[in-house]
Amino acid sequence: MISTALTDLWYGFGVALEPHNLLWCFVGVLVGNMVGVLPGMGPLATISILLPLTFGMKPVAAILMLGGVMYGAQYGGAICSILLNLPCHPPHAVTCLDGFPMTKQGRGGVALGLTVFASFVGASWGITEMIFLSPLLVRAALQFGPAEVCSLMLLGLLAGSTLARGSPVKGVAMTVLGLFLGSVGTDLETGSERYTFGMTELDDGIELIALALGLFGIAEFMNSVNQVAPINTKYTNVTFKDMRPTKADMKRAFFPMWRGTIIGSLCSLIPGTGPTIASFVAYATEKKISKHPEKFGTGLIEGVVCPEASTHSSVQGDFIPTMSLGIPGDAVMALLLGALMIQGIVPGPQLISQHPDIFWGLVASFWIGNIMLVLLNVPLIGIWVKMLAIPYKYLYPSAMFFVCIGVYAANNDFFQVGEVAVIGLLGYVLLRLGFHPAPILLGFVLGPRFEENFRRAMLIARGDITVFVQRPISAVFIALCVILIGSQIYFRMKGSKADLEPAAENDGADGRPVGAELAAQRVRATPAE
């Protein structure tokens, strides 16, 4: 088994090292890093804005480039959080806690240098996991009938919406809204039009790009316009030389890095627990086992390295269910899966066998891309740091243009540009009402496949809804759903007391949903400071 995995990996390197694929991977990492560094541009916004650039490419090149954009943007976000104390992406909220104090002490360069290294270690572990676990998962998934697929999707949707951020009920509401938006357009089975109101442009459904750019582009711009405090660039003088950690730093960072990696990979095995929770649990654990927990928050390298390694290892781990089952764990994965679907590739367990070039090429390109990331960031850090100073007033109008032209380029149709404006307004209203729009994307991407499988399962079972609990594998998934909801209610009841304690940071390790909420609250709180 190991030998087949290695042969496949070898093949993957062959695909990823083809000159044009390598070039696009490089472009992806470079541009992703560049855009991700900009304050206020998280990976979701970065990927959605750059997605239209890949429309004209072959599927392999497109997905390799988007993979590069993803971790480029993530690392760019880490730079932004460490040097400016501005987490653009929830997992980085924890990195700020110790990263920014380090910057204030003039050790921001060291923090960045070790972050590159930690993310490389975390990602490498995650990739290794992906190589060996995905084929196993596929073998199991190929036995699944529609009923199993359906209940697995239900589990994924519930976990993705309740564990991520904010109130679980609101998260589920957003998922349901996403599922509905996915059903707009021509019904695949009967051919009748749904919710199109006579607009023929809606026959093919709502455009994924328009949805993503509306929710993570326009709505975010409306949220931050004139609200962003002037950026403090006092501490951002980081040069290449500053990044080199001392031997003592390396030694101190070594074990936290591995602990973070392991925590991240464990978190990625639980469906729905994305990088945010992984980074939070990693930080809490590191604090708990530390000999001097009181020093956390004052600029300890452990507090930077451990969550960063954990984030990257869990992001790579999240690719396992996304690529092998076709069930994304969070909105970033949903977006990448949506990009594959735009290229005409059907996600699911058959993906690895039908498109081995995509899967193994992606795996190999992760490694290549992460090495590129290290190589790029060491000499270019000075340029990235300068980009941090670009004021928001120049940034968002230019981004608006990218939104408009990107949506137009999807179909060469102005209708979608109008669509993006409407979705942007809706997204902003939802944001202000305390909803997090990420689960909408999750529901939207999974919606049509959920409906298809649900119909098929019902047809096979002759309309007997109990089929979902009669079939053993499906029953397990349903039971997990029930446990998930039950534990949420339990933690709610219990957590309402814990919320009152201001120093609730330690709850992260034992009460995950509580921890996640705290992390989310911190994300909302930090930029205001």
Partner 1 sequence: MQPSTSLLRDLVRKRDFYAGGLMILFGLFIALKGSTYRAGTLMHMGPGFLPTALGVILVLLGIAIAAAAIAPVAAGAEDDQRILPENPQWWAWFCILISPICFIFFGRYFGMAPATFSCIFIAALGDKSATWKSSAILSAVVTVFGVGLFSYFLQVPMPIFTWRGGL
**Which residues contact partner 1 by CB under 8 A?**
53, 56, 167, 169-170, 172-173, 176-177, 179-180, 183, 187, 189-190, 192, 194-195, 218, 221-222, 225-227, 392-394, 396-398, 400-405, 408-409, 412, 414, 417-418, 420-421, 424-425, 428-430, 432-435, 451, 454-455, 458-459, 462-465, 496, 499-500, 521, 524
**Cβ closer to partner 1: 64 or 403?**
403
**Cβ closer to partner 1: 320 or 399?**
399
- Tell the burial category of 483 from Cβ atoms under 10 Å away from its Cβ (0-12, 13-18, 19+): exposed
Q: Rounded to the nearest whole angstrom, what is the least distance from the CB of residue 439 to partner 1 in the complex?
A: 12
Q: Rounded to the nearest whole angstrom, what is the least distance from the CB of residue 44 to partner 1 in the complex?
A: 18
Location of structure tokens 């390790």: 509
Q: Rounded to the nearest whole angstrom, what is the least distance from the CB of residue 170 to partner 1 in the complex?
A: 6
Closest CA to 430 of 166, 228, 215: 215
Crossing angle for the helix pair 302-324 and 331-342, nearest 10 degrees?
Answer: 40
Judging by DSSP bridges, how do beta strands 193-194 and 185-186 pair with one another? antiparallel
**Cβ closer to partner 1: 346 or 459?**
459
**Cβ closer to partner 1: 220 or 302?**
220
293-299 LR contacts (CB < 8 Å, sep 24+):
296/97, 296/98, 297/97, 297/98, 297/101, 298/98, 298/101, 299/98, 299/101, 299/102, 299/104, 299/105, 299/107
SS3 category, 193: strand
Location of structure tokens 């179909």: 411
Q: Where on the phi/psi map is residue 198: left (φ > 0), alpha (ψ -120 to 50), or beta?
A: left
Assigned token pair, 218: 């326009």
Distance CA 492, CA 200 (A): 45
SS3 category, 389: coil
* Chain CA centroid to CA 274, Å: 7
Distance CA 483, CA 466 (A): 18
Q: Rounded to the nearest whole angstrom, what is the least distance from the CB of residue 447 to partner 1 in the complex?
A: 9
Q: Rounded to the nearest whole angstrom, what is the least distance from the CB of residue 11 to partner 1 in the complex?
A: 31
Q: Rounded to the nearest whole angstrom, what is the least distance from the CB of residue 271 to partner 1 in the complex?
A: 21
**Cβ closer to partner 1: 4 or 226?**
226
**Cβ closer to partner 1: 291 or 462?**
462
Closest CA to 152 of 322, 339, 278: 322
- Residue 14, φ and ψ in degrees, nearest 5: -60, -45
**Cβ closer to partner 1: 292 or 401?**
401
Q: Rounded to the nearest whole angstrom, what is the least distance from the CB of residue 251 to partner 1 in the complex?
A: 41
Q: Rounded to the nearest whole angstrom, what is the least distance from the CB of residue 471 to partner 1 in the complex?
A: 17
* Chain CA centroid to CA 239, Å: 29
**Cβ closer to partner 1: 75 or 468?**
468
Q: Rounded to the nearest whole angstrom, what is the least distance from the CB of residue 429 to partner 1 in the complex?
A: 7
**Cβ closer to partner 1: 258 or 402?**
402
